[in-house]
A and B are shown apart, each in its own frame.
Chain A
Amino acid sequence: MIQALVLKVITKLMVGFIILFALYVQFHGDYSPGGGFQAGVIFAAAFILYGMVMGLQNVERVLPPWLTHKLMALGVIIYTLVGIYSFFVGYNFLDYGALSPAHPEHGQHYGILLVEFGVGVTVAGVVISIYYAFVNRSKTSKEDE
């Protein structure tokens, strides 16, 4: 792929920190700016960076396309399941008080964390899948020519 040593070394160093930052944004979203949408995109950016510098085969070994396709749906499922759970326990749909009936405030905390996690998983899955689709397309169209 690219024979740029500096880029490769820096990318290897950076990817871990980018993922760490994504997790921070994800789970600290209650207290500071951030949340599932931003965290998902930052998480995906780490993989996109790795794919751009190291080549698609290497990043697909870490996170294969079939997995990202499952992640896309998994996030929405997590979100909906939280809603359906509160439904069955006798609360309104998506009323997070159901998660901890003794302390509704704690329930809200858990609910927001779970729901934001679902959003993050979906967004990360969608962005990475779209990136894979674009790059795979360019590979096949070059083979066709």
Chain B
Amino acid sequence: MIGDTLSQVGTLLATHSIYWLFIILMMTGFYIVVSRGNLIKKIIGLNLFQTSVFLFYISIGKVTGGTPPILPMKLKVDDFSVYSNPLPHVLILTAIVVGVATTALGLSLIIRIRESYGTIEESDLLEINRKIFSRENVQDLQQGDLFKDE
């Protein structure tokens, strides 16, 4: 029973372990995003996460013993050559460029946050926001009082 399970785990390690490696990398990036309060660090973590997803996606298109999907110069393809799947490459290639464009957008948002709040730490930002909201609430209450007096 235990021997069966162990041998199953063994075959899984041989065939699936590369997916797990990429999942571990993904989770490292995710951990940076959720645990660090600095916004720049969050963006860098998001980048790591994104790159790991790309690696995972590309690994689906890999064929054992295959070569990159670039045919010989005269387009004479023999029947014995194995090529990896070009489709994931195309999708990820565009995703990388779109990813850097959106990263730039996120970074410019961070710059604007810093200019109007003076900080890029999540805890400080939440603190400032809480203060602003409580002040507004107090003002609302006072205005409500005014209306009541009238």
Number of residues in A with C-beta < 8 Å to the partner? 13
Type the 1/0 row for B80-97, where 1 means its CB is closer than 8 Å to any CB of A.
Answer: 000000000000011011
Contact of A41 among B68, B97, B111 (CB under 8 A): B97
Contacts of A41 in B (CB 8 A): 97
Within 8 A of A (CB), among B47-90: 68, 70, 73
Contact of A141 among B96, B101, B115 (CB under 8 A): B115
Give the distance to chain B from A140, nearest Cβ to Cβ, in Å: 10
CB of B13 closer than 8 Å to a CB of A = no
CB of B9 closer than 8 Å to a CB of A = no
In this complex, the interface size class of chain B, counting residues with CB under 8 Å from chain A, is: 10 to 19
Type the 1/0 row for A120-133, where 1 means its CB is closer than 8 Å to any CB of B.
Answer: 00010010001001
Contact of B73 among A31, A130, A137 (CB under 8 A): A31
Contacts of A35 in B (CB 8 A): 93
CB of A32 closer than 8 Å to a CB of B = yes
Contact B104 A130 (CB under 8 A): yes
Contact A37 B104 (CB under 8 A): no
Contacts of A141 in B (CB 8 A): 115
For the A-B complex, the count of residue pairs with Cβ-Cβ distances under 8 Å equals: 18
Contact B108 A33 (CB under 8 A): no
Contact A32 B70 (CB under 8 A): yes
Contact B111 A137 (CB under 8 A): yes
Contact B73 A123 (CB under 8 A): no
A41 to B70, CA, bound (A): 22
Give the distance to chain B from A121, nearest Cβ to Cβ, in Å: 13
Q: Which residue of B lies closest to A133 (CB)?
A: B108
Contact B97 A33 (CB under 8 A): no
Give the distance to chain A from B116, nearest Cβ to Cβ, in Å: 12
A51 to B108, CA, bound (A): 20
Contacts of B115 in A (CB 8 A): 141
B interface, CB within 8 angstroms of A: 68, 70, 73, 93-94, 96-97, 101, 104, 108, 111, 115
- Report the 10 A-B pairs with minimum CB-CB distance, sorted nearest first: A37-B97, A130-B104, A123-B97, A37-B93, A137-B111, A126-B101, A37-B94, A33-B70, A32-B70, A31-B73
Q: A33-B70, A137-B111 are in contact. List 11 more A-B contacts (CB 8 A).
A: A31-B73, A33-B68, A35-B93, A37-B93, A37-B94, A37-B96, A37-B97, A123-B97, A130-B104, A134-B108, A134-B111
